[in-house]
Amino acid sequence: MELTTIWFVLVGVLFTGFFFLEGFDYGVGMLLPFLGKNDVERRIIINSIGPVWDGNEVWMLTAGGALFAAFPHVYATMFSGFYLALFLMLMALIVRAVAFEFRSKDENPAWRSTWDWMIFIGSAVPALLWGVAVTNLMKGVPINAKMQYAGTFFDLLSPYTLVGGVAFLLVFLFHGTVFLTLKVEGELIERARRAGTVIGVLAAVAFLTLVGLTYTSTDLFHSSLATVSLGGAVLVFVISYALAWSRKCGWAFGMSGLAIVFTTLAFFSGLFPRIMISSLNPAWNLTIYNASSSAYTLKIMTFAAVLLVPLVLVYQGWTYWVFRKRVSAKHLEY
């Protein structure tokens, strides 16, 4: 297998891990103002992701770094074309991180409520924008012969990409409800499960709409792997909903995560060997061949990845193991 293909796969794996892990803590952040009826319950909800949310974001940073090093032309074109959207995402993530830190600095209910809503905004905006970004990559964006983005911010908005944004947001919300049923105790479990039964229906409708629009708006289904993966994603999401309804929360969480994995696999395999599609001329597509770094650079990166990626996986796995137990009021500091 060529190094360019290996790094395309690795970038795909990094984004898959990011959507799986960050997906549920985006979901928990969006649920915070609604499921937590008092300050104690909201602190429990925050503590359910407290030890892991910033570690989950490392997957995004690593994926971005890998994209920059392995496919610099893609990185440059994407960040210039998606500049405003990425700026909004960055601002939302900064607000979210600050909110987690500042919320507990004052016991004033208005202060804490304000930061709770900042966590909601800081979780909802990236979830929505990631869906818009991924579907734009599938649909194609105006890229000229010089590998430069030739459109505006509003070229990124279409019925297909907006449905993609809503679908990502709702799937992450459902993923978050199932995660909470595994991490909290008492009434919060039932409240999260009830929210999941409603959100799951909305997510399924949005997801199926996205699949239909993907068929009519993109060429993803030319790839048999992408077709099977997207079909598998729909199937396991339905299974996840049924399991959540049956209160088999551990299996439901695994299936909702698998739906995210299959969806990411479908989009990446549907793109290959392209990374960014030009809506102006197929000859101007950015591919793993015309947008990659030199072979020598990829060799050095591969050596570093072989050494460091297993360490990161072991460390993060250990973190989840240590903080695997449910969170309740007795674990809060007063």
Query: CA of 88: how far to CAs of 123, 128, 213, 277, in Å?
Result: 12, 11, 26, 23
Dihedrals φ, ψ of 287, to 5°? -120, 175
User: Per the domain annotation, does 128 fall within a domain?
Assistant: yes
The predicted structure's pLDDT at residue 93: 93
User: Per the domain annotation, does 330 fall within a domain?
Assistant: no
User: Per the domain annotation, does 262 fall within a domain?
Assistant: no
User: Per the domain annotation, does 185 fall within a domain?
Assistant: no
User: Per the domain annotation, does 237 fall within a domain?
Assistant: no
The predicted structure's pLDDT at residue 58: 85
- One digit per residue, pLDDT tens: the chain, 334 residues? 689 999 999 999 999 999 999 999 999 999 999 998 888 899 999 999 988 888 888 888 888 888 988 999 998 898 888 888 889 999 999 999 999 989 988 889 999 999 999 999 999 999 999 999 999 999 999 999 888 888 888 888 999 999 999 999 999 999 999 999 999 988 899 999 999 999 999 999 999 999 999 999 999 888 899 999 999 999 999 999 999 998 888 899 999 999 999 999 999 999 999 999 999 999 999 999 999 998 899 999 898 888 888 888 888 889 888 888 888 766 666 5
The structural domain count of the chain equals 1
Q: Could you tell me the pTM of the whole model?
A: 0.93
User: Per the domain annotation, does 8 fall within a domain?
Assistant: yes
Domain range holding 100?
3-172+268-325
User: Per the domain annotation, does 56 fall within a domain?
Assistant: yes
User: Per the domain annotation, does 263 fall within a domain?
Assistant: no
